[in-house]
Amino acid sequence: MQRFLEQEKLCRFKSFDYEDAWNIGVMIRTKAASLHAPIALEIFAYGKPVFLCLLPGAQQDNLVWVKRKRNTVLRTGHSSLYMGLFYKEHGIPMDQQTHIEQGKYCDHGGGFPLTFENGNVFGAVTISGLPAIDDHDMVFQGLVQYQHLKTA
């Protein structure tokens, strides 16, 4: 679990605007398309979707999963994969917690927080369509790649 917290700390932003969202979205989309990954991808920042695309093979249900994963990130401030592992380690999976509305949240991988350097979460990058760990890894790798390009 510590690995996923470290990933979140690694992917913090000094600033973030719509151009950043577009560039991250295009980078992740390009990678997913090269793998023929049937994903839905959303970048949500400042209270609204700022990038959204579906690749061939993605379904309407993927958009529902994107929203649920994003909601989990915004509620907890952590990746949806981390929250799944957290709840499992504590013996109460999210889908068994009565205070969490199951139709709005889920703890499957693919939602990753957009966070400023000071720790404030302002959005999420979310993928649905692959196995949970692959959704998570594709987002994380895209964010790391973008940050390397931006600081180069």
Q: For 29-40, how does the pLDDT look when each residue is reduced to its tens digit (9 = 90+)?
A: 999 999 999 999
- Is the pLDDT at 147 greater than 90, yes or no? yes
- Is the pLDDT at 152 greater than 80, yes or no? no
Contact call for residues 45 and 16 (beta carbons, < 8 A): yes
47-105 residue pLDDT tens:
999 999 999 999 999 999 999 999 999 999 999 999 999 998 988 888 888 788 888 99
In a domain, 45, yes or no: yes
Average pLDDT, the chain: 95
**Counted domains in the chain:** 1
CATH number of the domain that 49 lies in?
3.30.450.150
In a domain, 152, yes or no: no
In a domain, 29, yes or no: yes
> ∠ CA(55), CA(57), CA(63), 5° rounding?
70
In a domain, 95, yes or no: yes
Residue 59 zone, left/alpha/beta (φ > 0; ψ -120 to 50; rest) = beta
pLDDT at 59: 96
In a domain, 54, yes or no: yes
In a domain, 141, yes or no: yes
pLDDT at 125: 98
In a domain, 49, yes or no: yes
In a domain, 96, yes or no: yes
3-state secondary structure of 126: strand
Range of the domain at 122: 2-147
